Amino acid sequence: MSGKLSGKTAVVTGASKGIGAAIAKHLAAAGAKVVVNYSSSPAAAEEVVAGIAANGGSAIAIKANVADPGEVQQLFAEAVAAFGPIDILVNNAGVFDFKPIEAIAPEHFHRLFEINVLGPILATQEALKHFNPAGGSIINTSSTVSTHSPAGTGVYNATKSAVDGLTRTFSKELGPKGIRVNSINPGPTESEGVHAQGLIDIFKKLGEQTALGRIGQPDDIAPAVVYLASDDASWVTGQMHFISGGDR
């Protein structure tokens, strides 16, 4: 397989379903060798790997909880053993759980911050030990919630605002190493998680309020990641990319 990412190795966290799965497939279609990380859905992760292989790509599935330093270390050790130095890291693993201020508890706070904020930090730290000396690209998955700040999303909003902040700060720290850091900020997007939490009707209504009048799909999001991972974005870093149907 050849393409704009031919010869590159990509690690995508939280890639067994939804946006992460679409990102993994699109990166592979562009020629990258892809590590499909998952934490609790091995069958779904292997299905993503099988789909990539069926289309002529290279991928493996590796289990790791991104909030666990030891598991993150093992994730990258296995990734490098399979495919060599890292060129692309997509910090996509995340959880969303909306609660009004009266319902926020320490457990809710810590769960969201450990996965959504500590996770990207740990993955980035470990990836840097194995990055291609020539540099590469890190893409963080944020959300339009970080700027909309809708009622009832306080802690989730705070985590995604933190992701935006990490993106801007890390871009300045890693620029001298030739590593670009950007975020994607999807709008309302249909996914297994949205259905599982019974939010699909709400998300569809939000989608209808966008300029393009519909809810997003994972395949609407993934091409932007391919762009940011490629040399097409060689002078783009520290930026938030709102992929939201005009919902900003």
User: Domain residue spans in the chain?
Assistant: 9-186+217-238
For domain 9-186+217-238, which CATH number applies: 3.10.20.30, 3.30.360.10, 3.40.50.720, 3.10.180.10? 3.40.50.720
Question: How much is the pLDDT for 6?
Answer: 97
Question: How much is the pLDDT for 149?
Answer: 84
Q: How many CB atoms lie within 10 A of CB 173?
A: 12
Nearest to 68 by CA among 32, 47, 108, 37: 37
pLDDT, averaged per 10 consecutive residues of the chain (248 residues), comes to 88 98 98 97 97 98 98 98 98 92 95 98 98 98 90 91 98 98 96 87 91 96 98 98 90
**pTM of the complete model:** 0.96
> Is residue 132 within 8 Å of residue 87, measured between CB atoms?
yes
Active site residues: 156
